[in-house]
Structure 1
Amino acid sequence: MSFALKYAPKTLDDVVIGSQTLKNRLSDYINDRDLKPLILHGGVGTGKTTIANLLPDAIEGKKAEVTRLKAVEFNSINDVMQAFGDQTMFYQVFTINDQKRNYIISNEINFTPKAAIAFRDVIDDMIGHTQFIFTTNYIDQVDIALRDRSNCLAVPPVTAKDWLFRAQWILQQEGIALPDDQLLKVLTTQLQVSSSNRKLLERLEDFVRSVRNPPSNPGGIIEVAPTPEPINPLMAA
């Protein structure tokens, strides 16, 4: 199993977040101090989708039921109304399974202009009981009125120091010990190439593989050089 799957965060506390501002704002949602729609934006692989998927569980204190949207499928007002027309009243009054809130998550919310107008009305009708969580790599392309209704939180790339504790834990699970300064070099080198958390996990996986199967021993088998037989002095004439 790849490290990206094996060590994928199970809870929001497992996610490597370097920004204290982002941590504080997420805490506001978890502690019911903020109910506005949330737009998480930033570069590829910084953890936006992971945070979006795990935030409802953190708010509920248990596994939450969520509805997932694909904004690319909403091209017109009719598309939006077909998706929400029968549910808006329910979401105004009830929550699923006695949850604190209902949850709707959507990645890359690049609605067409007409669909965006209809979706604004949906949000206004459902915001009392429904937590909307959106993610995007391109915040400037998101409908300006939707941005105005939402908290737009940047998810910046993390640093090697941010990753150190989690990376050491992963290596410990793999039975490998490495001093912090050496591991920081591995993490720093990778983050200079790509800020993606996925790529960093791939680098850790490659590192573990190289430790277990060094180039001089590609098969991972410990080879013992044969011991020469002792020379019998009586036979050495």
Structure 2
Amino acid sequence: MNCQIKYKPTTLADVIYPNESVREFINTVARGDLIQNIIFYGPNGTGKTTVADLLPYAISGESAIVEEKDYSELLDQKDLKDYIQRQCQLTKLGDENARYYLVLHEFDNATKNLVKLWTALDSFADRITLFATTNNQMAIHQSIRSRCRCVEFPAISVHSFLPRATSILANENIAITQAELVKQLSVVKTGDLRGYLNQLDDLIATRKTPIPPKRLQLTVL
């Protein structure tokens, strides 16, 4: 059993947000009411990567054009500005209003060709949107940060995760009191969703009712 895989969010509605302020902001962006480059920052396991991956499709539908290269591979392009321009042009072939999405994870480690990247962001601002994730926003170069909205994803509290945990255990036919569940989840001190889901894996593994072996039916002659 791996809850991280089985219960991985497939839409933004499935995401566990750290607070209502973040949820409302993401929903505003998803509706297309606010078009911005965004840096999602915060500790590990808070949903940053999941939200950044899902947002382009929430905004533009399943046909969204998303850059699939790792940030280092993207920044290694011989002529980055020309590459991005060609991608933007291809994006607009099917829909004049379509946008080209750059989704770049752990972007605080990026150091090469950042001048070319922010130049491209400025040159094609009407066609391109950047969603980047990082543990430390200040480690991202100021030239990029100044062109983005920085949105914090703080640690997820047990209280925030509790409804999802209850739903998962109910789906797995695991009976447990809320007090017991809170105690089990409180073992995770970092507010990391992966840690909470690992705790659920342990609960499910230890509390699943084993299927009794079938009895052999003996025929008396």
Q: TM-score range by the shorter chain?
A: 0.7 to 0.9
Judged with a 3 Å threshold, the aligned counterparts in structure 2 of structure 1 residues 74 and 95 are, in CA distance, closer, same or farther, namely closer
Structure 1 contact 96–102 (Cα < 8 Å) conserved: no
Q: Which residue of 1 aligns with 2:197?
A: 201
Query: 1:63 Cα shift?
Result: 5.9
Structure 1 contact 74–111 (Cα < 8 Å) conserved: no
Unaligned 5+ segments in structure 2 are 214-221
Q: Secondary structure of the residue that 1:69 maps to in structure 2?
A: coil
> Equivalents in 1 of 2:128, 2:161: separation in Å?
33
**Residue 198 of structure 1 aligns to which amino acid in structure 2?**
R
Unaligned 5+ segments in structure 1 are 214-219, 224-237
Q: Which residue of 1 aligns with 2:18?
A: 18
After superposition, give the CA deviation of every residue in 1:162-188 in whole Å (9 maximum; x if it has no partner).
111111111122112323232222222
Query: 1:221 Cα shift?
Result: 6.4
> Equivalents in 2 of 1:211, 1:71: separation in Å?
43
After superposition, give the CA deviation of every residue in 1:194-228 in whole Å (9 maximum; x if it has no partner).
32211211110111111127xxxxxx4669xxxxx
Structure 2 contact 12–58 (Cα < 8 Å) conserved: yes
Query: 1:135 Cα shift?
Result: 0.5
TM-score of the two chains, using structure 1 as the length reference = 0.79
**Residue 10 of structure 1 aligns to which amino acid in structure 2?**
T
Q: Which residue of 2 aligns with 1:108?
A: 106
TM-score of the two chains, using structure 2 as the length reference = 0.84
Judged with a 3 Å threshold, the aligned counterparts in structure 2 of structure 1 residues 92 and 124 are, in CA distance, closer, same or farther, namely farther
Judged with a 3 Å threshold, the aligned counterparts in structure 2 of structure 1 residues 181 and 208 are, in CA distance, closer, same or farther, namely same
Judged with a 3 Å threshold, the aligned counterparts in structure 2 of structure 1 residues 163 and 132 are, in CA distance, closer, same or farther, namely same
Query: 1:35 Cα shift?
Result: 1.4
After superposition, give the CA deviation of every residue in 1:23-68 in whole Å (9 maximum; x if it has no partner).
1221221122321211001111111101111111221344634112
Judged with a 3 Å threshold, the aligned counterparts in structure 2 of structure 1 residues 203 and 54 are, in CA distance, closer, same or farther, namely same
> Equivalents in 1 of 2:89, 2:141: separation in Å?
23
Q: Secondary structure of the residue that 1:195 maps to in structure 2?
A: coil
**Residue 176 of structure 1 aligns to which amino acid in structure 2?**
I
Q: Which residue of 2 aligns with 1:66?
A: 66
1:169-188 residue pairs with structure 2 within 5 A?
169-188=167-186
Q: Which residue of 1 aligns with 2:88?
A: 91
Judged with a 3 Å threshold, the aligned counterparts in structure 2 of structure 1 residues 161 and 131 are, in CA distance, closer, same or farther, namely same
Tell me which structure has the larger Cα radius of gyration.
Answer: 1
Q: Secondary structure of the residue that 1:95 maps to in structure 2?
A: helix
Judged with a 3 Å threshold, the aligned counterparts in structure 2 of structure 1 residues 152 and 81 are, in CA distance, closer, same or farther, namely farther
Structure 2 contact 174–208 (Cα < 8 Å) conserved: no
1:44-83 residue pairs with structure 2 within 5 A?
44-62=44-62, 64-73=64-73, 79-83=76-80
> Equivalents in 1 of 2:70, 2:87: separation in Å?
21
Give the paired residue count. Answer: 211
RMSD: 2.5
Structure 1 contact 29–59 (Cα < 8 Å) conserved: yes
| Seq. identity, % | 28
Query: 1:81 Cα shift?
Result: 4.8
Structure 2 contact 41–137 (Cα < 8 Å) conserved: yes
Q: Secondary structure of the residue that 1:16 maps to in structure 2?
A: coil
